[in-house]
């Protein structure tokens, strides 16, 4: 396996210090970090004058085999200490793992070979993986978990001295999921549209510029369920039914399930005295802990287990099991009623 010690931040920090490796094999399910590392190498290792003769960018679909990549990598730089060879979409090259081993075991010290292997990975335990780790960087770009997204948003903005309220970061996370590329695009739009002198992104700002309602979203639905506010919950699911592309049933049910799963975890904690620790165990910002304390009062341990069973039942119904004609809205109305009552 790729070493867990090698992070995106460490790779960028080493490149900034001009500590270069002859091979960067960037693989995994999250394209954002792969693209960012690649872009940083392309834009920072060579000077603009050096790039004309010493920087080559190719695509896997245009490479007949790994030998074509190796031939590029074995060239010498011209009037430069290094040449950079970037192979994008390398997962499309046949027998890449089998043939690239002959190069990575003895790479050119004057070549920086960057392999983009998106949405797939090689086995770090095999010969090829061990050779890359010995002589270069084997980086596994993993998807972050949904409950890590709000914190990632906060950290991303903090680098440029921007802030975001806990509710706003949760709003974005619930709506955009864990696609970091999509999240960054929306954050950059929000930053551009901030009024002069403002550094904080708020729910109002998000609603105005992205169109995510601060009142009708899965976060507010879970809040309504926490306090057993049937009227508010039904208003929200009625709104969802009119915007099925933005609020698909499966996404809504998943969010509600995660919410009640956290309530169940809260009930199970032997020590609830340390708010910061409790919030960490629930995977939430401490700002939202009071809601879970309230929910735990309204839903006993036994009732929470019942709710989770009901959610599983309606998840199956949403897939057509024991359900012939009930609409998504009808299923959600039934679900809300059974949860609250």
User: Which domains, and CATH codes, for the chain?
Assistant: 8-140 (3.40.50.300), 146-209 (1.10.8.60), 218-340 (1.20.272.10)
Confidence band of 3 (pLDDT split at 50, 70, 90): very low
The stretches of 177-248 forming alpha helices (DSSP H) are 180-193, 203-209, 218-226, 230-242
- pLDDT tens figures, 283-327: 999 999 999 999 999 999 999 999 999 999 999 998 888 887 788
Mean pLDDT (the chain) is: 93
Give the global pTM.
Answer: 0.81
Q: Average pLDDT, stretch 70-93?
A: 95
183's tokens:
């999240």
* Tokens standing for residue 22: 């002859």
According to DSSP, the β-strands at 55-59 and 83-88 are parallel
Kindly tell me the sign of the dihedral angle through the C-alpha atoms of 223, 228, 232, 238: positive
pLDDT of residue 1: 40
State whether residue 181 is helix, strand or coil.
helix
Region for residue 89 given its phi and psi (left: phi exceeds 0; alpha: psi -120 to 50; beta: otherwise): left
* Contact partners, residue 217, CB within 8 Å, separation at least 6: 171, 174, 175, 236
Burial 161-177 (b: 16+ CB within 10 A, else e): ebebbebbbbbbbbbbe
């Amino acid at each position: 396996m790729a070493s867990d010690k090698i992070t995106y931040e460490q790779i960028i920090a080493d490149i900034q210090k001009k500590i270069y490796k002859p091979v960067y094999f960037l693989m995994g399910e999250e394209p954002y970090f792969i693209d960012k590392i690649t872009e940083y190498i392309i834009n920072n290792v060579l000077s603009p004058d050096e790039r004309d003769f010493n920087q080559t960018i190719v695509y896997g679909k245009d490479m007949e085999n790994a030998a074509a990549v190796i031939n590029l990598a074995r060239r010498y730089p011209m009037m430069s200490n290094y040449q950079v060879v970037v192979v994008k979409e390398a997962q499309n090259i046949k027998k890449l793992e089998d043939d690239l081993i002959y190069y990575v075991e003895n790479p050119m010290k004057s070549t920086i070979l960057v392999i983009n292997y998106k949405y797939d990975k090689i086995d770090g335990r095999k010969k090829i993986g061990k050779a890359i780790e010995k002589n270069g960087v084997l980086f596994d770009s993993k998807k972050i978990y949904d409950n890590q997204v709000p914190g990632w948003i906060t950290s991303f903005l903090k680098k440029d001295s921007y802030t975001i309220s806990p509710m706003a970061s949760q709003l974005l996370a619930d709506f955009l999921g864990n696609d970091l590329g999509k999240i960054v695009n929306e954050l950059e739009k929000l930053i551009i549209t901030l009024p002069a002198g403002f550094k904080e992104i708020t729910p109002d700002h998000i609603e105005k510029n992205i169109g995510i309602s601060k009142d009708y979203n899965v976060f507010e639905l879970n809040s309504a369920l926490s306090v057993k506010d049937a009227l508010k919950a039904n208003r929200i699911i009625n709104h969802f039914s009119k915007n099925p592309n933005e609020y698909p049933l499966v996404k809504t049910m998943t969010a509600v399930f995660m919410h009640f799963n956290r309530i169940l975890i809260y009930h199970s904690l032997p020590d609830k005295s340390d708010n910061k620790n409790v919030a960490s165990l629930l995977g939430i910002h401490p700002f939202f802990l009071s809601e879970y304390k309230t929910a735990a009062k309204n839903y006993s341990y036994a009732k929470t287990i019942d709710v989770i069973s009901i959610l599983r039942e309606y998840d199956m119904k949403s897939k057509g099991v024991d359900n012939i004609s009930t609409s998504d809205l009808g299923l959600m109305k039934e679900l809300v009623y059974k949860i609250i009552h």
